[in-house]
Each structure stands twice: as structure tokens, then as C-alpha cells.
């Protein structure tokens, strides 16, 4: 491997026709370059989409009530109905695999009319009544204070957790909102927490205009009685969300006298199912990238093989002399394959470095980007190793046919060739 004469001969052979060597190497360079860039951009696209989703629980589902479409138990179809507080304990005690359950109600405002006041400042924000579990399903970053806790729910506390945008609109630039009172639809609430969204720029801007209040407090303040607007739930990691949701809806239909086959009486959104679709999409994208990249690389390897065939033909006399003075077939094969591997790996390594360089530039450009479909593209170290392995194998394959042709020539015939 470290025979200096062999390496000198390889370099001499490659330099003897620089243009041919350059054009042949470019095919391999382009193949590995495109593979690395496409894989990096694919990862960046994956990161960009998932960043917009924040840390949203992928094993979650949402359900809400709709008008019934079938008569049942003496009730006509078209009946309007609501989830009730009693459903919470019924579901927690009877649904196997239920991990978290977060009922939610919504206050008025947030659609144009100002509904929150602090001093002379007013604003229109979305008001939600939540349980602590909500922050495990659709979490936010608490930058100061805390989120809603169980004691807030039990004691009907008038506390508020506000988004960063709410703070900016209601309070002065350097003013600390903690423990200050804001008036929401005429009722005063003490600010106990400020949060930032984990989602992408567009969604983050909307989410940071939310105000979270204790679920029970909103029910009382807005005179909702024991009505629940909708449920968010997560399933145990060992159980599918679809199974948990189906059992949940079965219990709710029975409790509220809904026809067992009335599938339209409840709205239902399975987040896990949608995330699996996205994961499947990216799996398909990665497969396509590998097919295109490997195909391009193999095309370059075929080019190397063709050029090595030309080289073997040009060196017929030389190979004949070697065979005549005792060079073994293995020696001839090794020489041809080494030349092929050196050409392939050198060009491929250059393509790998160039591809990683481009990805690094994109990474730095999108590092702090707030609105970008590609976010922090990266190349996994294992992927780089796989690419190098593919390069070596391509080089060996590219040299096999020319090497086989070289050893098949009889020394006497090789010496006679012009």
C-alpha cells in the first residue's frame, strides 16, 4: 500500500492526460457533491417543518362536539350537546392507555375587540381556560414565573399566564409584569407567568398573543357552568392514539346518549396520524435522494471504468513487458484498481468537502432565521462515512473490468501491439 514507486506510477498515469482525468473526475465529484447537498437540504427541510410545530406532542389527539346526525334514546337528530366536567374523571378512570387529558374552554375576545387592559394600554388577545396538562401537549417556554398549576384549578384562582406579545403591548418596555393585575373583560387577573412560543415565526406570533387562565376560573367568570369546549389528550407511548381516542369517544357517546354509530357527532383530529404522514413523506424524500445520488455517483464510476479501459488499451505494450518479465496477474490487477480507486476517491473527497461546505454556509445563513422553510441543515457523520464507503466501492468496481481485461491479454500479443 505504501510502495512509493506504485504511487509515483499512479500519479504519472493520471497526469499524462490531465484533461481526460479532470473530466472523468468531475463526474464522480458531481455525484457525491449532489448527494451530500441533497441530504443536507433534506435534513434542513425536515428541521424547518418540525420547528414550526414546536414541541407539540406527536402522540396527541383533539376532539370536540358537533350536532348529532342520528336519533337515539328518544333524542332527535341534529341535537346540540357539550362535553361536561364529569367527563374528565370518567375518562381518566376508564380509558386504558390515556396519558394526559386537557379540557379547554375559551373566553370571548381576540377577534378585533379589545378585551385586556393594563393602565392606559389595551389589546385584543385570545383567552383560554386550561389545565396544567395543556403545557405538556402544546408546550411553551416559560421565560418568567410559572404556568397554571393544580391549586389554581382547585381554588378558582384569578391568575394569568401571558404571551410575550401580550407583555409588549400592555406593559412598558422595561416594566416587569409579574404580580401586576390586568383587566380581562372587566375582571382582574394577577400575572404569574410570561411565555414564549417554541414554534416557527408565523405561528409563534399568534401563540404569543394568547392568555392562559385556570380552566375552572374561566368557566365561572364566563358563566359556562360545567361546559367543556374540547379535549386534548395524549396516549401512553406503548398504545396508539387511535386506540385511546376510539375508547374515549365510545365512553363519551355512552355518557351523552349519542348513537354508537354516529361518527359525525364528534369532531376528531389525530395528530399522531398526521405526524406519521409527515415522517413517511421525509422517508420517501430521503429514499429518492439516495437513489438519485447513488445513480449519479455510479454514472461517474462508469465513466471512470470507461477511461481505465482506454488507459489499459494505451498501455498494452507496457503491460505486456510486465507480464513478460514476471509480473503476476494479481500485481497487474492491483495496479489498475489502485489507479481507479485513487481517481474516484480523490474526486469524491473533493465533492464531499465541497458539499459539506455548501451545507455549512446554508446552516449559518438559517441559524437564527425566523421565517425559513429550511432550518439548520446538517450532515450526519455516519452519512459521511457511508458516502466514503460508497466511493471506495465505486472505485474498486470501476477498476475491475479494465483490470480483468489487462490480465486476459497474452504477453506475446501485448508486445506485438502498436
DSSP character for 76? Answer: P
pLDDT at 216 over 90: yes
Task: Specify the range with the lowest mean pLDDT, choosing from 82-86, 287-291, 377-381.
Answer: 377-381
- Which pLDDT does position 379 carry in this prediction? 77
Task: Specify the range with the lowest mean pLDDT, choosing from 7-11, 290-294, 376-380.
Answer: 7-11
Q: What is the pTM of this model?
A: 0.72
List the Cα angle 364/370/373 in 5-degree steps. 80
Residues paired with 268 in a beta bridge: 63
Contact partners, residue 98, CB within 8 Å, separation at least 6? 91, 92, 233, 234, 235, 236, 244, 248
- Which pLDDT does position 392 carry in this prediction? 72
**Contact in structure between 234 and 271 (CB atoms under 8 Å):** no
What is the chain's alpha carbon radius of gyration, rounded to the nearest angstrom?
34
Which pairing describes strands 230-235 and 60-65: parallel, antiparallel, or unpaired?
A: antiparallel
- Which pLDDT does position 278 carry in this prediction? 81
23 band by pLDDT with thresholds 50, 70 and 90: confident
**Contact in structure between 307 and 314 (CB atoms under 8 Å):** no
- Which pLDDT does position 10 carry in this prediction? 60
Alpha helices in 95-191 (DSSP H): 134-137, 150-154, 164-170
pLDDT at 411 over 60: no
Who has greater pLDDT, 282 or 306? 282
Task: Specify the range with the lowest mean pLDDT, choosing from 11-20, 187-196, 254-263.
Answer: 11-20
- Which pLDDT does position 309 carry in this prediction? 66
Query: Which DSSP string corresponds to 38-65?
Result: HHHHHHHHHHHHHHHTTT--TTEEEEEE
- Which pLDDT does position 385 carry in this prediction? 73
Instruction: Give tens-digit pLDDT for 27-72.
Output: 778 878 888 888 888 888 777 776 666 678 889 999 999 999 999 9
DSSP character for 121? Answer: E
Mean of per-residue pLDDT scores for the chain: 83
100 band by pLDDT with thresholds 50, 70 and 90: very high
- Which pLDDT does position 222 carry in this prediction? 92
**Contact in structure between 129 and 106 (CB atoms under 8 Å):** yes
- Which pLDDT does position 2 carry in this prediction? 52
pLDDT at 410 over 60: no
Instruction: Give tens-digit pLDDT for 137-150.
Output: 999 999 999 999 99
107 band by pLDDT with thresholds 50, 70 and 90: confident
User: 23-27, 187-191, 312-316 — which one is most confidently predicted on average?
Assistant: 187-191
**Contact in structure between 102 and 233 (CB atoms under 8 Å):** yes
**Contact in structure between 273 and 101 (CB atoms under 8 Å):** no
Per-residue cell: 53: 410545530
Domain limits, the chain: 4-54+276-416, 67-104+223-264, 108-129+140-221
- Which pLDDT does position 94 carry in this prediction? 95
Which pairing describes strands 187-196 and 159-163: parallel, antiparallel, or unpaired?
A: parallel
List the Cα angle 149/163/113 in 5-degree steps. 110
Contact partners, residue 1, CB within 8 Å, separation at least 6? none
- Whole-angstrom CA distances from 200 to 134, 229, 287 are 19, 26, 27
**DSSP H or E run through 91:** helix 86-94
- Which pLDDT does position 368 carry in this prediction? 65
Contact partners, residue 259, CB within 8 Å, separation at least 6? 68, 70, 71, 72, 253, 265
Instruction: Give tens-digit pLDDT for 287-327.
Output: 888 888 777 777 777 777 776 666 666 565 565 566 566 55
Amino acid at each position: 500500500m505504501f510502495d512509493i514507486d506504485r504511487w509515483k506510477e499512479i500519479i504519472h498515469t493520471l497526469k499524462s492526460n490531465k484533461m481526460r482525468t479532470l473530466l472523468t473526475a468531475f463526474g464522480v465529484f458531481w455525484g457525491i457533491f449532489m448527494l451530500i447537498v441533497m441530504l443536507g437540504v433534506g435534513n434542513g427541510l425536515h428541521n424547518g417543518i418540525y420547528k414550526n410545530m414546536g414541541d407539540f406532542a406527536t402522540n396527541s389527539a383533539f376532539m370536540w362536539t358537533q350536532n348529532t346526525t342520528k336519533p337515539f334514546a328518544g333524542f332527535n337528530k341534529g341535537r346540540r350537546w357539550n362535553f361536561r366536567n364529569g367527563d374528565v374523571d370518567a375518562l381518566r378512570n376508564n380509558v386504558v392507555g390515556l396519558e394526559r387529558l386537557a379540557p379547554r374552554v375559551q373566553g370571548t375576545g381576540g377577534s378585533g375587540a379589545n378585551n385586556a387592559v393594563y393602565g392606559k394600554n389595551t389589546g385584543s388577545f385570545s383567552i383560554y381556560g386550561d389545565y396544567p396538562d395543556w403545557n405538556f401537549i402544546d408546550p411553551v417556554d416559560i421565560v418568567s414565573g410559572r404556568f397554571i398549576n393544580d391549586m389554581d384549578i382547585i381554588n378558582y384562582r384569578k391568575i394569568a399566564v401571558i404571551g410575550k406579545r401580550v407583555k409588549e403591548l400592555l406593559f412598558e418596555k422595561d416594566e416587569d409584569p409579574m404580580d401586576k393585575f390586568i383587566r380581562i373583560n372587566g375582571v382582574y387577573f394577577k400575572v404569574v407567568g410570561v411565555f414564549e412560543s417554541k414554534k416557527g415565526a408565523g405561528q409563534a406570533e399568534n401563540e404569543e398573543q394568547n392568555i392562559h387562565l385556570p380552566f375552572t376560573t374561566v368557566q365561572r367568570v364566563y358563566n359556562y357552568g360545567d361546559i367543556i369546549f374540547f379535549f386534548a389528550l395524549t396516549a401512553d407511548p406503548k398504545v396508539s392514539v387511535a386506540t385511546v381516542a376510539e375508547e374515549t369517544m365510545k365512553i363519551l357517546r355512552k355518557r351523552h346518549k349519542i348513537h354508537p354509530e354516529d361518527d359525525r357527532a364528534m369532531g376528531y383530529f389525530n395528530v399522531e396520524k398526521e405526524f406519521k404522514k409527515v415522517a413517511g413523506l421525509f422517508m420517501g424524500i430521503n429514499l429518492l435522494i439516495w437513489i438519485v445520488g447513488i445513480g449519479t455517483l455510479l454514472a461517474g464510476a462508469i465513466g471512470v471504468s470507461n477511461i481505465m479501459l482506454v488507459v489499459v488499451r494505451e498501455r498494452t505494450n507496457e503491460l505486456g513487458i510486465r507480464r513478460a518479465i514476471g509480473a503476476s496477474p494479481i500485481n497487474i490487477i492491483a495496479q489498475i484498481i489502485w489507479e481507479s480507486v485513487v481517481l474516484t476517491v480523490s474526486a469524491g473527497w473533493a465533492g464531499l468537502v465541497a458539499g459539506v461546505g455548501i451545507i455549512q454556509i446554508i446552516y449559518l445563513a438559517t441559524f437564527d432565521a425566523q421565517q425559513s422553510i429550511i432550518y439548520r441543515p446538517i450532515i450526519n457523520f455516519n452519512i459521511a462515512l457511508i458516502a466514503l464507503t460508497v466511493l471506495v466501492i465505486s472505485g474498486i468496481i470501476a477498476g475491475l473490468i479494465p483490470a480483468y481485461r489487462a490480465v486476459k491479454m497474452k504477453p506475446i500479443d501485448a508486445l506485438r501491439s502498436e
